[in-house]
Amino acid sequence: QVQLVESGGGLVQAGASLRLSCAASGRTVSSTDMGWFRQAPGKEREFVALIRWSAGSTYYADSVKGRFTISRDNAKNTVYLQMNTLKPEDTAVYYCAVKIAGSDSRPSSYRYWGQGTQVTVSS
């Protein structure tokens, strides 16, 4: 049984930073492609970032490239999302997920999801 628990969300002003954490159990993040998604009210869930288990290569949505950084700590079995220079349009519930197969950016490629953590950015 894979369990993912996100934390680190909150209410911040535009320009601030937050670091989200995704603690995994039942599967090691070092051997799994892990992704972050977000979903704003009334919108579809959208891809944010991915880190591959092999070599730790990373990929980002254009909207966050240069501002967000995905990383992992294998010893803690945790994946992080460092978010800098936050904008009001970053406001959403952020989810981490385990990628099973297929496109990096499609939610259908991911099987296990956390419960999400709310990020609210005020202007």
Instruction: Report DSSP state, residue 123.
Output: -
Mean pLDDT of 18-39: 91
Question: d(Cα 57, Cα 45) in Å, to the nearest integer?
Answer: 23
Cα angle for residues 49, 44, 94 (degrees, 5° grid) = 45
Q: Yes or no: say if 4 and 70 are a contact pair by the CB < 8 Å rule.
A: no
Question: d(Cα 21, Cα 78) in Å, to the nearest integer?
Answer: 7
**Residue reference for tokens 């209410």:** 11
pLDDT tens-digit profile of 45-99? 999 999 998 878 999 999 999 999 999 998 999 999 999 999 999 999 999 999 9
pLDDT at 27 over 80: no
Among 116, 98, 84, which Cα is nearest to 8's?
A: 116
pLDDT at 29 over 80: no
